[in-house]
Amino acid sequence: MKHILLIVTGASPQVLTETLFALHQSGRPIPEEIFVITTKSTKGMLIDGLFTQGNLARLIADYQLPSIKLPDENIWLIEDDNGQPIDDAKSEIEQTYMADFITRKVFELTNKQDISIHASIAGGRKTMAFYLGYAMSLLGREQDSLSHVFINDEFEFVSDFYYPTSYDHIINGKNGVQINCKNARITLADIPFVRMRNSIDETLIANMESASFSQTVASLNSAHRKDLILDINAKAKTLTFAGIEIKLTAKETAFYLWLHQYSQDTHIKLNVGRDFEQTTKHSIEYLRLLQQNSSDLRVFRDTFAIEPEDFRDGTYEHLKAMEKTFVQQTRSRINSKINKLLPKELASKIAIESKKQGFETRYWLSAAASNIKIIYTS
């Protein structure tokens, strides 16, 4: 199994060489490859300290460590929603970008079964360390570990110190006092963490590649709540539930909304039986909702045999009844999108349910049956 080091850094790239030294000192496996998460403003400090000054190569040579890969492509700069590196992580929105970026990168690495990750939260801003630790708790496996490093006070925050040497190496310490790197003491502190991966719904795990950190947390926190809200946005063509936005087509949004309004108006489930296709009542109700945000000819003309203009004018002479297959297929597509983005327990709360009894099939929204508050945005 390949061992890698994943580390967050800020203005003190020394934490990387300190961590490598601590791993060597404790007899742990030395990583074959390193991945660094940092920001645009601090990458230069990392490059200068590790490569220009040669501190990484010097550590490897001094302690005869095996070759360690840290190519430029392994230095990951935190990006915004447009894929542009952020300068720092001081603003609220940049903190959001940071949380999402770290979660995605941990997701990528933990999906590789042939590697063992040693994650270090010794560097970077406090929130960087928190998000890395939290992501490891969500996604980490048995072979993964988490740590911090501590150093004696006289060497802490000293820019010229990178690791304890095995020989005398005098540098300027705090307040201009000279100190000998040979006297430095580094402690590697293992951080126990709860590995939640096997306890989290597989759908939620899979969605972490694209879902934001806040969406992931919202989904986890909402799984057992009773006061959930479903927002149906007809114009945006979305369902928003537990912090997750589910994108539908105009056709699907209108159908979901129609089924919701149908059950509200009649207080019964939609009964698709022998006489269902004998009336255009359902077609008219459905198309009234659809026309508010779409004039899709594939629905009006191809499915219901009417031009959008004729429907708008109330000319229903050639209007076709809603077919059973239309209900079945539209329901299936909507549920597929819901199940793809939500964990099973949450998906079951807003999916379109059905029950077959003889020649009849009844359809209803789980949200209505589950007493979930539904908000409609036109």
CATH architecture designation of domain 2-199: 3-Layer(aba) Sandwich (3.40)
pLDDT for 91? 84
Conformational region of residue 19, where left means phi above 0, alpha means psi within -120 to 50, and beta covers everything else? alpha
Per-residue model confidence (pLDDT) at position 223: 64
Structural domain boundaries in the chain? 2-199, 223-377
Q: Hey, what amino acid is at 154?
A: E
Q: What is the pLDDT of residue 265?
A: 67
pLDDT value at position 69? 97
Q: What pLDDT, on the 0 to 100 scale, is given for residue 224?
A: 63
Task: Say if CB 279 and CB 316 are below 8 A apart.
Answer: no
Q: Indicate the SS3 state at residue 337.
A: helix
Nearest to 69 by CA among 157, 146, 3, 166: 3
What is the rounded distance in angstroms from the CA atom of residue 321 to the CA atom of residue 304?
Answer: 7
Helix, strand or coil, per DSSP, at residue 171: strand
How do the pLDDT tens digits run along the chain, 378 residues long? Answer: 999 999 999 989 999 999 999 999 999 999 999 999 999 999 999 999 999 999 999 999 999 999 999 999 999 999 998 899 998 878 888 888 999 999 999 999 999 999 999 999 999 888 999 999 999 999 999 999 999 999 999 999 999 999 999 999 999 999 889 999 999 999 999 999 999 888 887 777 877 777 777 777 777 777 666 678 999 999 999 999 988 889 999 999 999 999 998 877 666 789 999 899 999 999 999 999 999 989 999 999 999 999 999 999 999 999 999 999 999 999 999 999 998 888 777 888 899 999 998 889 999 998 877 778 898 887
Write down the pLDDT at residue 328: 96
Q: How many other CB atoms sit within 10 Å of the CB of residue 219?
A: 25
122 strand-pairing partners: none
Q: Are the C-beta atoms of residues 338 and 350 closer than 8 Å to each other? A: yes
Which residue in this structure is represented by tokens 């979930």? Answer: 372
Distance CA 44, CA 136 (A): 27
